[in-house]
A and B are shown apart, each in its own frame.
Chain A
Amino acid sequence: MIRFEKVGLRYGERPEVLRGVNFDLSAGSFHFLTGPSGAGKSSLLKLIYLALHPTEGRIILFGRDVAKVPRRELPWLRRRIGVVFQNFRLLGHFSAIENVALPLLIKGAKRQEVETHVIELLRWVGLGERVAAYPATMSDGEKQRVAIARAVVGRPSVLLADEPTGNIDPDQAIRIVHLFEELNKLGTTVVIATHDQNLIARYNHHPVLHLERAAVRRHDPLSPVTALAAAAAGGVRSHD
């Protein structure tokens, strides 16, 4: 589904953010992406959602080498990837329902056709009473759920979330990760970038991609690092 082969990234003349990154995420998997602040988690996600080009290496998405995909076809690849951005990135002059409907409208769907579906989705994320609300009147948790609804409304194959629990309280964070797990059960590949070790520990049945010093290491469930994080969070869960 997503394969990185010796991927490197640097911004201009600055030091490399990523160096020789290799990993392979299979379809329907659920991963946490973690690492210290500034380690390059957001940059790695940007490479996956095609907001950046790698400075070296190869990225294979849905079986296609991204570098060889003609530019005019990139929007179709992007439509298969749902993104929950770090600061939500909602359109301020659009209501919740309009923000969520946007990915469908840009595909050419008619407003009347999508309205019912979008309202259902907003109910699913717990915003059934807030469909007409504007971002300026919403709490961070509500904005986050609108952002999630917008990311999944087009039934993407891959869902990426950049620090989705960074601005919300722990209870809401748990609700949101549950939403991601539900989507994952439906077959969506999920990658959540977070530096919240408590969250990773709570959901330690998912593998972790650990990003540090420009390189990625993979830790499978309950590997020593995961277990350590779980222990630190005081909530180790066992699962077989």
Chain B
Amino acid sequence: MIKRRSPVPFERERSERFLPFVIGAMTFLGALAVVLLFTLDAAMTRWRADLRDTLTVQIPATKEAGGERAEAVLAIVRATPGVANAQLVTYEEVERLLEPWLGKGSAAKGLPIPILIDITRAPGATIDRAATERQIQKAAPGATIEDHGTWLNRLVRLALSIQLVAAAIVMLIGAAAIAVVVFATRAGLAVHHDAIEILHLIGAQDAYIAREFQTRALSLGLRGGLYGLALAAVAIAVFTAALPDLSVAPAFRFSPDGRALVALVLLPVATALIALLTARHTVMRALGRMP
């Protein structure tokens, strides 16, 4: 006969029905930002692993065959202290690297394609790039050495700044979610003022009244978080399928890794907890002003 239900008649209130949708939209944006954060992090890790210890020698194409020049440069490079390995990049490999820009087939034929030599630095070793470059220029005029580390550092700085922006977006969304819950809770306190006052006067503790609001906020927050997550899952699936593997040597693949998936699953839980704590704090403060 005595049903399990809240003494605060939340189900009669219309003003808070928007809350799951607003929180859902925020969770959706937050989820995309989180995926971007982790995707960039994974990409940076791959870039570092692939490129940190590599350099490339570029010998400009000439009318004469470049085989002798390449062999001479290769010999100099292999004899340079700090070099663990040096390999001539075959014409087929160069063609494959040019494929994203020139397309498949023999579009590269007839173009003055430079000869490339990939160098792997010995772990922890340093190579005097300027001195080596001077040496190889004697064997092949115009040859240059490109240190991928320098280029990688710039790329990592760019990725880090994008990550910072994504983190700021996540925090802004969190702050906006808190503001929305505060607003909705205050509206609820005003609408249910009578019920709250009755509970207060018959001896309910503030924590008892706050529990009614925080449970409600938890439920709405979780519902909103799940809406947002479902929408984000669809969006991520579409992006992953639609975006090609942007493999320009250092690969950037838009596909959330394990950490991103865990973060995504935790996002609705975090949203619900933010809603719960915000509602509790708002109600406790409001009740603190009652006699």
Contacts and interface: CB of A to CB of B under 8 A. Distances in A.
Interface of A: 49-53, 71-72, 74-76, 78-79, 83, 89, 91-95, 97-98, 101-103, 105-107, 111, 114-115, 118-119, 131-132, 150, 154
B203 A75 contact: yes
Contact of B202 (A74, A83, A92): A83
A115 B114 CA distance: 90
Given A52-B291, A53-B291, A91-B9, A76 B203 contact: yes
A52 B197 CA distance: 12
The 9 closest A-B pairs by CB, nearest first: A79-B203, A78-B203, A93-B9, A111-B2, A106-B204, A75-B203, A75-B205, A103-B202, A101-B2
Contacts of B203: 75-76, 78-79, 103, 106-107, 154
B199 interface: yes
Contact of B208 (A78, A83, A106, A114): A106
A76 B208 CA distance: 13
Nearest to A101: B2
B165 interface: no
Interface of B: 1-5, 7, 9, 11-12, 194-195, 198-206, 208, 288, 291
A72 B3 contact: no
A115 B1 contact: yes
Contacts of B205: 72, 75, 106
A71 B205 CA distance: 10
8 contacts: A52-B291, A71-B288, A79-B203, A83-B202, A89-B198, A91-B9, A93-B11, A114-B2
Nearest to A78: B203
B101 to A, nearest CB: 68
Nearest to A114: B2
B128 to A, nearest CB: 73
Given A92-B9, A106-B208, A111 B199 contact: no
Contact of B7 (A53, A72, A102, A114): A102
Contact of A98 (B2, B195, B198): B2
A150 B5 CA distance: 18
A150 B2 CA distance: 14
A72 B204 CA distance: 10
Contact of A83 (B4, B12, B201): B201
A132 B3 CA distance: 11
A78 B4 contact: no
Nearest to A53: B291
B202 A106 contact: yes
B2 A115 contact: yes
Contacts of A150: 202
A74 B200 CA distance: 10
